Structure 1
Amino acid sequence: MMIGDVSTLDKGDEPETQGVVASSSNVFRRLRPVPAYKVVSEELERLIVSGRLKPGDPLPTEQELSESFGVNRSTVREAIRQIEQEGMLERREGRRLFVCLPGLFDLAPRATRMLMLQQTTFEELWETAVTLEPLAARLAAANANAEDLARLQANINATAALTLPGEQPDSELAELVDLDVEFHALVGAASHNRPLMLAREPISLLYKPTLRRIYARIPQSKSRALAAHRRIVEGLANADAQLAVDWTQKHMVDFHRGFQMADLDMKAPIRLFLRP
C-alpha cells in the first residue's frame, strides 16, 4: 500500500541537510535539518486527520511504509511511536496497528504538563473553570439523556455514602475527590459538546490534590459540595438550565472560598499543588 503524496526521502535516520551560504547582506541563513522520522510522523498524522486513513483502518506494515516513504524501518518505527503517543494508533490482534481516535485522557496529561511548565497559577485555572463549568451545565441541561442522568445520580449516591462529618481516613478522602472530579466530568459529558469536554479535561485533572487539602482542612466542605451537586443534577433532570448554571456558579465560588479558608495560595504555581 502506497501512502500519501510526499517527496521520497533518502534512506537513513535524517534527510540530508540543506545548507545555504549567507551572502554579505545576511539575507540567507542556514536551514535546520528535520529528522526523517518527524517528516514521516507528520505525514501519517495528516493522512489520519484528513480522513484518508480512518479510525479502524489497519496501518500498513513497517516494510510497506518504509518502501512508500523511501526510508529505513528504524525511521518508520520511530515515527509510529510518535503517532502512538498522540493516541492515533492502537495495537490489536497481536502487534498489528490500527488507526483510532485519541481519547480525552490521551490529550489531557500533555496539556496539564504544558500548564505546569508555563507556571500557571491556580487563580488562572479557577478563572477559566468558573466560565467553563457553568457553560457545561447549561449545555447539559439541554442535551443530557437518561443514561447521563443515571450516571450522575450513581455518582451522587456513591458520594453521599462517603460524605461523613468530621475527619476521615485518607483513603476515603481520596475516593471523595475522585468522585467530585468524576461528577464534573459527567456534567461535561452530558453537554455532548466535544470541544468543551476536551477544553475542561486538563483543568479537572488538576483539582485532585487541591480538593484533598480542602476536604481535610475544612470537613464541612464535603457536605456543601454534595448539596451543590444534588441541585445541579436537579436542574439537569428538569431541563432547568438556569438552576443548573446558578448552582454551578455557587459551587465554584464556594470552592474558591474553601481554597482561601484552607490557607492555600491562589497565586502560587499549580505545580506546587501536585506535591503530596
Structure 2
Amino acid sequence: MKKQKFEKLEILPAYRQVADAIEQQIMEGLIKPEEPIGTEADLVEQFGVNRSTVREGIRLLEQSGMLRRGEKRRLYVSLPGYDKLATRISRSLVLHKVTFRELVESLEILEPKTIELAAKHITDDQLDRLERNVRETEEKLNDKNELARLDTEFHSIIAEAAQNRVFILAREPSGLLIYPATQYIFETVPEAPSRLLEAHKIMLDALRKHDVVEAKSWMYKHVRDFVKGLIRTGVDLDGPIAKPHLEHLFSLDTYL
C-alpha cells in the first residue's frame, strides 16, 4: 500500500491568531476605518487570552498601519499610508538584492505612464504645487540634499495627479530607492542639477498644456538621463542596490 504523504501542520502562535482574526474582519469590511475595536482589556476578554498575547497581536497590526491608538488607549482601525507600505516593500527589494538595471527598467515603464495619466487629470492645485517645487529647485541648485528631496517631491505630486492609487503604490518603493542614488549623482556629475531643472520645467509646461505626448516623451528622457548619471558615477547597473539605499530606508520616520 502506497504511503500517503502529508505536510506538517503550521501551528500559529496565539498572538498571530489574534492579529489574523482582527485583520480578517477589517479586510471583510466588518470593521471599517476609524471604527473602534475597544481596548486591550476588551480584546483580552473577547479572545480569552492573556494581555501579553493581545499586546503582541496589536503590535503587528500597528506596525502594518491597520490599527492606531486614540484617546484612553482605545484602538481604532486605520488605513496604512502609502509611505509605510512603500518603505517595507523597498526594504524587501534591497534585501532581495535587486539590481539598478531592474530598478531602471521599472522606472521606464511606470514613470512615463504615470505622467501620461497626470497630464489628463492634473488639477490647478497640483500645478501650483509643482510650480513652487520648480521655483525652489532653481533656488537650491547647490544644495544636493535638498535637490534630491525636491526631485522626490516633484515625482510624488505627478503620481498623485495621475489619480490612480495602484500607480502611487507601485512607484513609491522605487522612489525611495532612487533618493540616495540621486544625491550621489548630484555630488558626482556637475551638470546633473541643471539638467534635472530643465527637464522638470519642460514637463511642468507640458502638464500645464495637458500635452500627453510631450509630457510622456520628456519623462522617458528624464529616466534615461538618470541612467546616464548612474553610469557616470561608476555604478554597476547589474550589481545589487548598494548599502546606502538600505541605510536610507532605516533612517525614514515611516520605517517599520
Q: Number of paired residues?
A: 247
Correspondence for 2:21: 43
> Could you tell me which amino acid in structure 2 is paired with residue 153 of structure 1?
E
- In 2, the alpha carbon distance for the partners of 1:230 and 1:257 equals 20
> 1:24: how far off?
8.2
Q: Which of 50, 54, 69 is the aligned partner of 2:32?
A: 54
Correspondence for 1:34: 12
Asked if 1 retains the 8 angstrom alpha-carbon contact of 2:39 and 2:73, the reply is: no
> 1:26: how far off?
4.8
> Could you tell me which amino acid in structure 1 is paired with residue 189 of structure 2?
I
| Structure 1 pair 24–64 and aligned structure 2 pair: CA distance change class (3 A) | farther
> Could you tell me which amino acid in structure 1 is paired with residue 223 of structure 2?
M
| Structure 1 pair 98–29 and aligned structure 2 pair: CA distance change class (3 A) | closer
Correspondence for 1:241: 212
Identity, in percent, stands at 41
Structure 2: tracts of 5 or more residues without a match: 249-256
| Structure 1 pair 158–62 and aligned structure 2 pair: CA distance change class (3 A) | same
Q: Which of 173, 189, 195 is the aligned partner of 1:202?
A: 173
Structure 1: tracts of 5 or more residues without a match: 1-22
Partner of 1:200, secondary structure, is helix
Q: Which of 246, 261, 265 is the aligned partner of 2:236?
A: 265
> Could you tell me which amino acid in structure 1 is paired with residue 233 of structure 2?
A
Moved more, 131-140 or 262-271: 262-271
Q: Which of 200, 212, 222 is the aligned partner of 2:193?
A: 222
- In 2, the alpha carbon distance for the partners of 1:84 and 1:64 equals 17
- In 1, the alpha carbon distance for the partners of 2:79 and 2:183 equals 33
Q: Which of 52, 56, 66 is the aligned partner of 1:78?
A: 56
Correspondence for 1:98: 76
| 1:40-79 CA distance string (max 9 Å, x none) | 1112111112221111111222222222222222211111
Moved more, 144-153 or 25-34: 25-34
Correspondence for 2:46: 68
| 1:77-126 CA distance string (max 9 Å, x none) | 11110000001111222422211111111111110111011110111001
> Could you tell me which amino acid in structure 2 is paired with residue 182 of structure 1?
E
Asked if 1 retains the 8 angstrom alpha-carbon contact of 2:115 and 2:159, the reply is: yes
> 1:29: how far off?
4.7
> Could you tell me which amino acid in structure 2 is paired with residue 27 of structure 1?
K
Q: CA RMSD in A?
A: 1.7
Task: Give the structure with higher Rg (CA).
Answer: 1
Partner of 1:59, secondary structure, is strand
| 1:145-193 CA distance string (max 9 Å, x none) | 1111111111101101012xxxx4xxx2101111111111111011111
Correspondence for 1:185: 156
- Bigger relative CO (Cα 8 Å, ≥ 6 apart): 2
- In 2, the alpha carbon distance for the partners of 1:55 and 1:28 equals 40
Provide the TM-score with structure 2 as the length reference: 0.91
Asked if 1 retains the 8 angstrom alpha-carbon contact of 2:99 and 2:238, the reply is: yes
Higher percent of residues as helix? 2
